[in-house]
Structure formats: structure tokens, C-alpha cells
Amino acid sequence: SDLAKNKAEENKDSLLYKLVEGDMEKMNAKVPFDADQAGDKAGHEVIEEYLDYLAVGVANLINIFKPEAILLGGGICKQGENLTTPLKARIKAVA
């Protein structure tokens, strides 16, 4: 994502940057999670911002459509509980 790429470029001493070896074409949804789990501040900031945006989007869907379920897909969903636990808390806070 552009968010992760920009954060990596701004923090060239970060693990987020090092994991892609400075090649932003290698950046994917998994990299910021890996950096965050290793204690990297830049990776953590990316994840926090991802979660905030995603929570607002999902909360808006809930408030507008009142669905019984919402399914998420894509590479970011492979993070399992690392994604769903904080996401659920944020959704409850904004829904």
C-alpha cells in the first residue's frame, strides 16, 4: 500500500524499510505486520492507521446496511487474530 511504502521511505532505518530491502515493489500487506510484530515503530504506525481506516469503513457498512455478516478478503486477512481482534474493538468504538 502507499501508506506502508511512504512510511518506509520516511524511515529508512526502520525494519519496515529493511524487510523490503529498500525496494517498494516488494511491499505488501504482510510486511507491516511482520515489522510491527518485531517491535518496529514504523510498522506499528502503519498497522494502527490501516486498522483505523478499515474500522471506519466497516462501521459505515454496518450503520448503513445492518448486515448479518461482513466478509473481508485479501492478503491482509491472513493475519488472523492480529487483524480481527484490534479491528473488532475499533469497530465497536466507532459503530
SS (H, E, C) 26-95: HCCCHHHHHHHHCCCHHHHHHHHHHHHHHHHHHHHHHHHHCCCCCCCCCHHHHHCHHHHHHHHHHHHHHC
Q: What tens digit of pLDDT does each residue of 4-24 get?
A: 999 999 999 999 999 999 999
Given pLDDT bands bounded at 50, 70 and 90, which one contains residue 64?
very high
What is the set of domains in the chain, with CATH numbers? 2-94 (3.30.420.40)
Average per-residue pLDDT in the chain?
97
* HSE-up of residue 86 (Cα within 13 Å, Cβ side): 14
> 75 pLDDT exceeds 90?
no
**The pLDDT of residue 58 is above 90:** yes
Kindly report the pTM of this predicted structure: 0.92
